[in-house]
Structure 1
Amino acid sequence: MKSSMGRLPLSFIFVILCLMAFNGPSFAQDLDNVTISGQVVDSNSAPIVGASVTAKETKTGAERTVVANEEGRYRLVQLPPGTYTIKVTMQGFAPQEKTNLVTVSGQNVQLDFNLAPAGVAAEQVITLEGDNEPVIDTSRTVVGGTVTEREIEEIPNFNRNALDLVLTLGGTSEESLSTNGLAEDRLSNASSTPLEQGNFSLSGGTAYSNNLTIDGLDNNDDRSSRDRFQPSLEAIAEVQVITNQFSAEYGRASGGRINLRTRAGGNNFRGRAFMFFRDDNLNANTWYNNSRAIPRPSLTDYNPGFTFSGPVILPYYSGRNRTFFSVAYEYDNLQDTTLIDAYVPVGSNPRFALPTTTGGDQTCDNSSAAACTSVPPTAAYVQPYRKLFATPSKSHILTARIDHKLFKNNDLTFGLQYGHKNNLRTTGAATTRIEDAFQARNNNTRAFNLTDNQVFGSNVVNQFRSQYSIYEPSYQTVAPLDPVVLISYRDPVSNSVKTLIAGNSTTSTSQNFADSRKETRWQFQDSLTYIWKNHSFKFGADVQNVRSETLGLGDATGTFNFGSVLNFQNNVISRYRQNFGTQQDVKNTYWGIFFNDEFKPLTNVTFSYGLRYERETAVSDNNNFGPRIGLAWDPFKKGRGVIRFGAGIFYNRVLLRTVGDSIQNQNSNLISFDSNTIGTGATDVRRVPILAAIANNFPNSYASTTELRNLITATCATIVTTLPCNSSTGFVTNVTSAGNPLRSVEPNLKIPESYQFNIGFEREIYKGLVFEVNYTWNKTVHLWRDYNPNAPVLPAGYSDWTAYLLANPFQLSPTRAYTFYLGATNDGSGIATAANGTTTCTTTTVNCFVNLNTTNTSTTAPLVAVTGQNNNATGAPIGIALAAIARFRPDSTVEETSRIGSRGNSFYQGLIFELRSRYRKLGYGFGSTVRFNYTLSTTKDDGLNNTANAEINGDFSREWARSLQDRHHRIALSATLDTPWWFGKLRFSPLFRYGSSAPFNLSGGGSDRNLDDVSTDRLNFSGNLKDIKYREPGSPFPDALASQFSLQPIGAKSGNLGRNAGIGPSFYTFDLSVTREWKLGERMKLRPVLQFDNILNAAVFSYGAEFINFTGLSSTATAAQIQTFKDTFLVPTRTYRQRQIRVGLRFDF
């Protein structure tokens, strides 16, 4: 049911109408632009009516003029951020000018002027710098911060990603399971952050609930909840972070908003050429590489680029003071290699060419060499194929904009964004893929945007924006539509069976789904600012049409398996798979409308209120009214302090991947063919001829199900059998997409919404030194969560499935039964011919005893041989238990299904302290700026992301616990320090970040012991929760603690250990950037840069995105297994990056 807080609009509008009766000067709250306002008075403090106030942007020469009203007050609204000169003139008075007013987005600047009579004083010029520069915006009601252009250039930034600078501000945190900034260890095969986990959290909002924009226009990937495009760091003028956006102007975020403002051109030509370089010879090795005696991996990274801006000068046209351009380009080439260590057939298949050996002895693809020499041979020869294959990461980033004054009061901006990235890098030491089977992570995007600002006199300003963007990410090979060819062979070195991957590859990871997609977006925004009497009204709308087309590549191009090298040479297929209907086409239209008013009921009080309504057509939820209110009070009336209060309701955007899976499954578009679903019994004569017919078409796959069905039908006509053989043989419907179970969404699915409240105080405590504190409260409801509606339903009279199984032996067939009992908890088999016995059951055992306390996690199902379908199988404990209760599923024709519902919640409260100073000279040649943040907070939730499952199916109330991103204490310190000549005039820019311990979740190894198909089961624990702490590698094994863990019996509802009960490691990073500037003339500067990441080379451990498991040891565990358990239990397997050095050079001209 919709929260009552979401049904406030009528009463809220009534309050708005009442509040409009207040009189007082108004100041418009604009998150992307600048407002300059104030009062013009004479020497007797009397208002000067009709004074002319002109704001001139220094770089472009653009001017805006207004006239002071009857109270001597003036307002200049929706000015672009920049550096301004403000000049006031009035007949009979000496002009006054204030220069060097530096502004950032969303800033309200109050400048008062006191004019002297003409003849008494000459024109007065006041330079706003140092002590007389405004440092506090006493009329701002939103909460957040801005990373300025100077900070962007100076703060160490390991990834050169502007969004990483968000974490230098207070009230921010990394996403759960974050791997950002972790070391890349060889041979680790480390897990990646789930794709939909988001980028970062603002004021406790979920990390996938932020609105990312560039120059005010959408920059979101609506399918994966990440950013679409990352501009070059050199192209960005500021990073604006709004943690609590109490203005109604922006939506699509139940968290916060991050806007990147790009640099514009001016009247002077300006440029920069830059080059950054990294190399493994400058770096330390990772901690885990050292511990495993793995040498430092090779790495070379070339990162050049340029920026250039100025007036547009053409034959017969000069754009000075009217038309300007700005362009930035950056190229990155991170060189890397991967070792291909495989074996290829000596013989060939004329239908499919493989590379020839790189040299080495040929060996038999069989442990017995005679198999290759017998007549006829039963095996074939292989030879080594070893080579270093270049797997670089290359990217091109281009941004460009043209600013043009169309008319006196009309300004146009046209922008272009282009990004192309191809990343082939891997972290494994070697692979059995050959060149054409390497998958690349590609990100290609283009965007075109237009902004039109129209000034209608002193009281009305309209801004229109539009954007068309294309986003094409993929995880695919160079030929993604080619078939996949998998050849099993015996590695003679390890004597193990491996698979040669050729032709193509369509495997997926948690971070990369094997797909190719195209997301197109049309966006139109319009906002009108209208100053009427004492109010600044703002009305607007935002309309976005998004189409997300996805082609799932998993087995979509045909996957051919050859069981041996000889079979490949003889063109004998052992398995064929192909998925049809893997396309998704999701269309979503978003529209939002808003109203906002801001005014001053008192000279030292700013009041803002507004209402926003949002609608997305991808879901049926249409009750999305978001009232917002904000207050800023300057109790000292001197512009040096402000108390802020704000509250509002905010809505997230729809995540299209979840919706797309539901649409695909509901329409039954996905159809799969798998030859393994054709019977494997010796009496089944269908499989071999059908595979032979498919082999005759190798390596070609099938364009449609009709084509494949026709082939099977024709083949069945030649087969003499009583078994079903027709066009449906081998086909399966109601299959899953991208490894997910059958997914649907609840018909009343709601868009997640958050209720936010903030109260804060900001004060200039010394010249240019500002202290700020904010208390933020954030509750989010209707978060999407996953549950299994097809889990078996427990019959009445039983406490859990354990009780049911103990009371009801399972009769699989007339000659085979299974009796359940609770035996030893270290039983590694779980099936025996007698209770607590040691003789393992076989398919001929009449009554097999199943120990529900076993440590065996296998889910193999018991089977009775069915001619043409399957052979006999004994099964394993969990599989046997699932078979015993399968008849209690609501739909017994399928197993697990997935349904997304609005069942989740999260909560955050935090106290954020900030101490910052603008740049100031300290004397003796020193100068500095500093920003220090401390956050004391707590974050709780009941799930990891929008597809999280509960341990007890659908019961998320039991999941309520500390969030994985919850670190009670966080510190971020960034600064710059300029030194005098005797210290080399070096500039030091440190960045220190610290976070106290975060929780971790301890599970049972992903097993499904409570029989609900979902692998979220936790443990039983009999000790003190405070003892569950991470261990550093090599630390003594906690025998007493380990003995207090145990697995729940198969069929039990849950373990007694709560979610996220463990105490993980804290973290800290200390990076340093060192620069030196040489002036080579009036305009040319040379600035070399040395950036040290983790300058102390500290070993800081992290669990990253890995699972932390306790699986229990069986009584038959080997000494090696026991030692591995002791070495890894509760030990983090990742560390933060090792010391790395980046060398750079910037040449400004």
Structure 2
Amino acid sequence: MKISGWMMRGALVALIATFCAATGLRSYGQSAVDGAIGGTVEDASGSAIGSAIVVVHSNATNAEQNVKVDGSGVFRVIHLQPATYTVTITAPGFRSYRSGEVLVEVGLLTDISPKLPVGNVSDTVEVTSEAPVLNTTSPDFSGVINQKMLLDLPVNNYRWSAYALLTPGVVADSSGFGLLSFRGQSTLLNNVTIDGADDNQAYFSEERGRTRAGYSTAKASIQEFQVNTSNYTVEYGRAAGGVVNSITKSGGNKFHGEAYFYDRDAEWGAANAFTTKTVQVVPNGPFSSVNFKPTDRRKQWGGAVGGPIFRDKLFFFFAADRFQRNFPAVAAASNPTSFFATPDAALPGGKVCGGTGATAPSTIDAAACTLQNNLKLASYGAAATDYTSGLANLNSLLGSVPRTGDQTIFFPKVDWQINGKNHASFEVNRLRWISPAGIQTGATVFDGSHSFGNDYVRDTFGIAKLDTLITNNISNEVRYQYGRDFEFEFAQDPAAYETSNLVGPTLGGYSNPFGGLPPSVSITNGFTFGTQTFLQRAALPDERRNQVADTVNWIRGNHSIKFGGDYIHTNDLINNLFAQYGGYSYSTLTNYLTDLYLSQNPKTVAQAHNYSSYTQGFGRPGLDFNTGDYAFFVQDEWKLNPRLSLTGGIRYEYEQLPSPVSSLIVSSIPQTGSLPSNKSNIGPRVGFAYDVFGGGKTILRGGYGEFFARVINSSIYNALINTGSLNGQPSFTYTSTSAGAPVFPEVIPTLVNTGTPPNSTFFDKNFKLPEIHQADLTVEQDLGWNTVVSVTWLGSFGRRLPSFVDLNLPAPTTVTYTVVDTFGKGPLRNGSTFTSNFFAKSTTSSKVCPSQRPDCNFGSKTNIFSGVNSNYQGLVGQISHRLTHNLQFSANYTWSHALDYGENNQTGTSANALVDPTNLRGEYGNSNQNVPNRFVLTAVATSPWRFTGWKSYLLNDYEVSPNFSAQSGLPYSVATSGTLSTGLINGAQLNAVGSGVNGSGGTGTGNGNFRLPGFERNGLQQPSTNVLDLRLSKRFNVAERVKLELLGESFNILNRQNVTSVNTTGYFIGTTTNVAKQVTANLLTFNTSSANSALPLFGSVTNSNASGFSYTPRQVQLSVRAQF
């Protein structure tokens, strides 16, 4: 039997760790997937009792662990699943200690340090409960989201991981779909785990299943999770941001479970003032935009149950969850006022086609005149009729679009207490998501009704885990995971209009060769219809993963050591060819109608080339490739004395990238012949925890660590396939006059090396893994009454972060613009000049040098480099109160500042992310995730009164749970729009290589594409936001062990209009000409209202409460839940 390479590597990891465990060294410490109970046993005078025996009994499964304290009275019981335990401590000559409700949480040590009074062992000191109030041993900055918070706090997002936003140092990205930023770092640098197994998608570097699906794991299957923001243990890696580590539920000796139904309907909530649709007020009249409240109905139901299969031995847990969403969209034009303007049936008196001054027709009548000329029609009236008819036919592609989402999740789990020394668990999570027309999720979409695209996700993973206590003092944990994340998207069936006008076979004798799917057509101020250029996506990705991990814990004296290894083998299959069905772009509706009518006549079809550009991709549909992630780690926790713990560790990581595809290597670009192999990723981690006064009430913790993130697989894929080789996926762009350009609506059936030359993408020869240096310092004080306050300084310093730069640009010259801002509303003074670098095309003819770039045979040559630095510092204040006397609350405030040199949040690659490719320092500014101020307050309050009799059913067991957050607005930059296609450069007329003021095509990594160079990136901020979510519930005892709960929730209950986007276009790029049509000046015109030039549009609000699940109009949800 042939053993695959990944199996050999995984077995090696496990073998090394297991061999070390067999050396007989004692275990001492909790792991990333469980918790621990530990402390010091002393007598009444504070002297250690070295003869004590500690018994930890699981209240759920009756499993027990027995340990003997060491000579200093110190003990620790590890590998405890988050739950409640009974702890009994006995010692000869002393009274026994017993606590029946000891709470263990993931990643934390619950400290029990009793002082046993002298007496008989048969006499017992009873303690009601214990919980980990203070972190007295580890230096990490983290928080636990426990079952109480998961059950009782209102959170708008259905994803359980969204609860991480309740912890300090964490913010959502601008989309609000669930991507998180930790300490100002990119949302792509995090790591999500479930029961210690990797739960990420390597291709897009997001949580498995991504964010368009409702959620990838049912909340009913999650016991609790830990949010690690800084300086986390060496077991965690492959992340330069944060780690969210979840633990699933298990069954016990008693049957327990829940059933639930949640119903949310937009009709019960508020409307968004910026959500509009286009309507025709009167028949054959003008079109205009009106506000409306879109339909959005969401229903979630399911349940979970756990219990014994064989008492004390074998247990099961099963969760099932359904999520259905009915949210029809509106297909609309982006600028309906302009797009749906209709010409007069006859020219008004005194107006003539081609007239100037007083005889000039209106803009829309002039469009009809142009159509008359293009089609060589006999009269203006005939052209006006054709224009209006063509517009009416296009309108058939707009209006309401049925759209749904349907998701099913199953989660079975089995726990097997093999014997007193071995515990195994097996679990599977299966997700299926189907969403017809669901690729585009906005209420109003600027696409045709049959161009939204269908979205599908099939996600399945299984995890097996074995915990072994070789003796009472030796432990080993081994995990294996297999997972598949299969995501695919397909076009909808074409509309009748698209089949008739874009496919054929009635189009002048032409018939589309690609199975009846039409090309994409995009019209400025209108919408896009046909087959979207990003479709079909038969697999994006089809990702399969195998993971093996092993962790060992042991001790020598007062040194507590853990070490182990981890290996992940990932196979990504990608099947997606961009623009394979072709894509036409039109700058005006008139030009589109011209080509439409010309294409319908065999005698004129050859003239149907009035488009601005045509793009089509060719070549292989995709490829599959493998990556391997290796990690080895060791950590020593040194209990120097009862008050001071020191931690030191080191983690090594290596990401093995695939070899280039030999047929795709371009000999003239040697970088395409290799991918990076960085083996120097050694990350030290050190920290301390100090009990300042020795009473366990005041703790000082701090630490430093070096962390590494992965190279995103989508970047690897682009470097493999988009090398510029014609054997890859070359994409060619044509103007209407380019050699080989098709006539509308034809597509090119086979690869023809014409049009613009292909682009190339490759890794820099010095590329390294992203690296983050983290440090933190915390002072934590136990105030008593289950209340803790803390103050923390956080620092994160990024190095070698990835970005993209175009190396195929000419040496820059300079360009000078004259500023036009009559009312002086913009940052540049009216009439002043603005000078910038300028990247101009070569004056050599495109027939001699096709790209008119330094390398004539290629367009952009994108270098994926690791040269971006970042700097984050924050100050966090927290207070938390565990549930006592009917109240639990937590509040935190974070002040922070995140700066970087253009950290990139983009999956895949862009041609050029730098505004000025010669000046990386020009990118320095506020991070995209810079949120200087953020405050979060949550609480759970239960009714303190207790009535009896019939009154108890009406008046007892109420609960109110607020969740409030407020933060600074997200940053944005001054952006530009347009291209200096023919500008005056040092007295010569030159063309820009790309868009933007300097013609580099560099979008800039700030929030505002084609940023204006010379101005601070992300120097402006949107208005601050705040959201209050509120839940009110009433519980009923319907049986001895069954509780029924009725819930009412409102998200953004005050309907605060939280701004989610603003107009970032500060200036339009243009030119002026003299009578002889010669360029005389380059202009930067400030963005103001066409109706009132004194009214700036730059910075104006364009949308509010439209950010996924983070910010929405007020929504109401009604629910019922039963627990037993």
TM over 0.5: yes
Kindly indicate whether the alpha-carbon contact (under 8 Å) linking 2:979 and 2:1070 is maintained by their aligned counterparts in 1: no
Pick one of 755, 758, 761 that aligns with 2:776: 758
For 1:898 and 1:596, the matched residues in 2 are separated by 40
Alignment of 1:56-205 (within 5 A): 56-90=57-91, 94-115=95-116, 119=120, 122-128=123-129, 133-175=131-173, 178-180=174-176, 199-205=179-185
- Residue 461 of structure 1 deviates from its aligned partner by 0.7
Q: Which amino acid aligns with 1:390?
A: P
In 2, Cα distance between equivalents of 1:1096 and 1:227: 31
Cα distance change, pair 1078–935 in 1 and its aligned pair in 2 (3 A):
same
State the shift of 1:827 in Å: 12
Worse-matched range after superposition: 158-167 or 142-151: 158-167
Match of 1:456 in 2: 470
Q: Say if 1:43 and 1:204 are closer, same or farther in 2 by CA, change over 3 A.
A: same
Among candidates 646, 655, 670, match of residue 728 of structure 2:
670
2:498 aligns with: none
Distance 1:858 1:262, change over 3 A: same
How many angstroms does 1:243 deviate by? 0.9
Which residue in 2 is equivalent to 1:1128?
1097
- Which residue matches 1:209? 189
Match of 2:518 among 461, 485, 488: 485
Distance 2:655 2:413 in 1: 31
Q: In the TM superposition, what is the alpha-carbon distance from 1:475 to its structure 2 partner?
A: 3.5
CA distance 1:603–1:672, change in 2 (3 Å): closer
- Supply the distance in 1 between the matched residues of 2:96 and 2:626 (Cα, whole angstroms): 58
Larger displacement relative to structure 2 (959-968 or 631-640) = 959-968
1:533 aligns to what? 557
Displacement of 1:606:
0.9
CA change 1:109–1:27 in 2 (3 A) is farther
Does residue 1:1002 correspond to 2:980, yes or no? no
Structure-1 residue corresponding to 2:895:
936
CA contact (8 A) 1:592 1:613 kept: yes
* C-alpha separation in 1, matches of 2:917 and 2:254: 65
Of 774-783 and 1117-1126, more deviation after overlay is shown by: 1117-1126
Gaps of at least 5 residues in structure 1 are 1-23, 182-197, 313-318, 343-363, 703-707, 710-728, 737-741, 795-799, 803-821, 829-850, 870-881, 922-926, 1020-1027, 1031-1046, 1049-1053
Deviations 1:594-651 (A, max 9, x none): 0111121111111111111110112311111101111000012122221001011111
Match of 2:1120 in 1: 1145
Alpha carbons 2:294, 2:443 under 8 Å: kept: no
Partner of 1:839: none
CA 1:998–1:527 in 2, change beyond 3 Å: closer, same or farther?
same
Distance 1:76 1:824, change over 3 A: closer
Aligned pairs for 1:911-1060 within 5 A = 911-921=875-885, 927-945=886-904, 949-981=913-945, 985-1005=957-977, 1007=979, 1013=993, 1015=995, 1017=997, 1055-1060=1013-1018
Q: Tell me by how many angstroms 1:488 deviates.
A: 7.8
CA drift at 1:415 = 1.4
Amino acid paired to 2:975:
S
Partner in structure 2 of residue 564 of structure 1: 596
Match of 2:55 in 1: 54
Between the aligned partners of 2:903 and 2:64, the Cα distance in structure 1 is 51
- C-alpha change, 1:539 and 1:675, in structure 2 (3 Å) is closer
SS at match of 1:407: coil
C-alpha distance in 2, partners of 1:308/1:278?
A: 25
Whole-Å separation in 1 of the counterparts to 2:154 and 2:653? 38
The letter of the residue matching 1:773 is V
Structure 1 CA distance for aligned equivalents of residues 889 and 387 of structure 2: 74
Displacement of 1:213: 0.8
Query: Which one of 308, 311, 315 corresponds to residue 320 of structure 1?
Result: 311
- Out of 542, 557, 560, the residue aligned to residue 566 of structure 2 is 542
Q: Does 1:223 align with 2:187?
A: no
Given that residues 643 and 759 in structure 1 are in contact (C-alpha distance below 8 angstroms), is that contact kept between their aligned partners in structure 2?
yes
Question: Which residue matches 1:8?
Answer: none
Q: Distance in 1 between matches of 2:631 and 2:433?
A: 33
Name the counterpart of 2:413.
Answer: 401
Once the two structures are overlaid, the 10-residue window that deviates more, 593-602 or 996-1005, is 996-1005
Partner Cα separation in structure 2 for residue 1016 and residue 610 of structure 1 = 48
In the alignment, which residue of structure 1 is the partner of 2:442?
427
Residue in structure 1 matching 2:797, options 774, 779, 783: 779
Instruction: Give the match for residue 1078 of structure 1.
Output: 1036
How far apart, CA to CA, are the structure 2 residues paired with 1:985 and 1:1017? 64
1:232 to partner: Cα distance = 1.5
Q: Partner of 2:1090: helix, strand, or coil? A: helix
Cα separation, 2, equivalents of 1:823 and 1:545: 53
Aligned counterparts of 2:729 and 2:521: Cα–Cα separation in 1: 27
CA distance in structure 1 between the partners assigned to 2:896 and 2:835 by the alignment: 42
Partner of 1:645: 702
Using the aligned pairs only, state the percent identity. 23
Paired position in structure 1 for 2:240: 254
1:1089 & 1:497 partners in 2: Cα distance?
Answer: 44
Q: Aligned partner of 2:902: which letter? A: G
TM-score where L is the length of structure 2: 0.75
Whether the 8 Å contact between 1:485 and 1:559 is mirrored in structure 2 is no
Structure 2 residue 861 is the aligned partner of structure 1 residue 897 = yes
CA contact (8 A) 1:786 1:954 kept: no
SS in 2 for 1:610: strand
Q: Spell out, residue by residue over 1:300-347, the C-alpha distance to the aligned partner (whole angstroms, 9 max, x if none).
A: 1111111111112xxxxxx211111112222111102245799xxxxx
Deviations 1:1114-1141 (A, max 9, x none): 8899997253883622112121221111
**Structure 1 counterpart of 2:427:** 415
Q: 1:372 to 1:478 in 2, by over 3 A?
A: same
Quick one: which amino acid aligns to residue 938 of structure 2?
Answer: S
Q: Aligned ranges for residues 720-735 of structure 1 at < 5 Å? A: 729=752, 735=758
**Superposed displacement of residue 443, structure 1:** 2.7
Q: 1:864–1:1123: structure 2 CA closer, same or farther, 3 Å change rule?
A: farther
CA gap of 1:677–1:1143, structure 2 versus 1, over 3 A, is same
The reply to whether residue 1062 of structure 1 matches residue 1020 of structure 2 is: yes
User: Which residue, out of 810, 814, 839, partners 1:801?
Assistant: 814
Q: 1:323 to 1:649 in 2, by over 3 A?
A: same
How far apart are residue 50 of structure 1 and its match? 4.3
Equivalent position amino acid for 2:777 in 1: I
The 1:338–1:417 alpha-carbon spacing in structure 2 relative to 1, beyond 3 Å, is same
For 1:409-455, what per-residue CA distance to the aligned partner results, in whole angstroms no more than 9, with x for missing partners?
A: 111111111122233344365777464x4413333211111111011
Q: Distance in 1 between matches of 2:783 and 2:753?
A: 76
In the TM superposition, what whole-angstrom CA distance separates every residue of 1:980-1022 from its partner, at most 9, and x where no partner exists?
4587642111111111344321122264699884656599xxx
1:440 aligns with 2:498: no
The secondary structure found in structure 2 opposite 1:160 is: coil
Name the residue aligned to 1:655: 712
Alignment of 1:458-607 (within 5 A): 458-477=472-491, 483-486=516-519, 501=530, 504-507=531-534, 516-556=540-580, 563-564=595-596, 567=599, 577=616, 579-607=618-646
Residues 673 and 732 of structure 1 are in contact (CA less than 8 Å); yes or no, is this contact kept in structure 2?
no
Deviations 1:507-556 (CA, angstroms, capped at 9, x unpaired) = 47xxx989632111111100111123322211100101112221223233
CA distance in 2, matches of 1:487, 1:999: 34
Distance 1:743 1:1124 in 2: 43
Unaligned runs of 5+ in 2: 1-24, 210-215, 278-288, 334-371, 495-513, 586-591, 609-613, 658-675, 823-831, 948-954, 986-990, 1000-1005, 1074-1084, 1106-1111
> Is contact 1:453–1:462 with CA below 8 Å preserved after alignment?
yes
- C-alpha distance in structure 1 between counterparts of 2:789 and 2:774, whole Å: 23
Contact 2:810 2:841 in 1 (8 A): no
State whether residues 1003 and 1110 of structure 1, in contact with CA within 8 Å, keep that contact through their aligned partners in structure 2: yes
Alpha-carbon distance change, 787 to 984 in structure 1, aligned in 2, over 3 angstroms: same
Cα RMSD (Å): 4.4
Shift in CA distance, 430/787, structure 1 to aligned 2, threshold 3 Å: closer
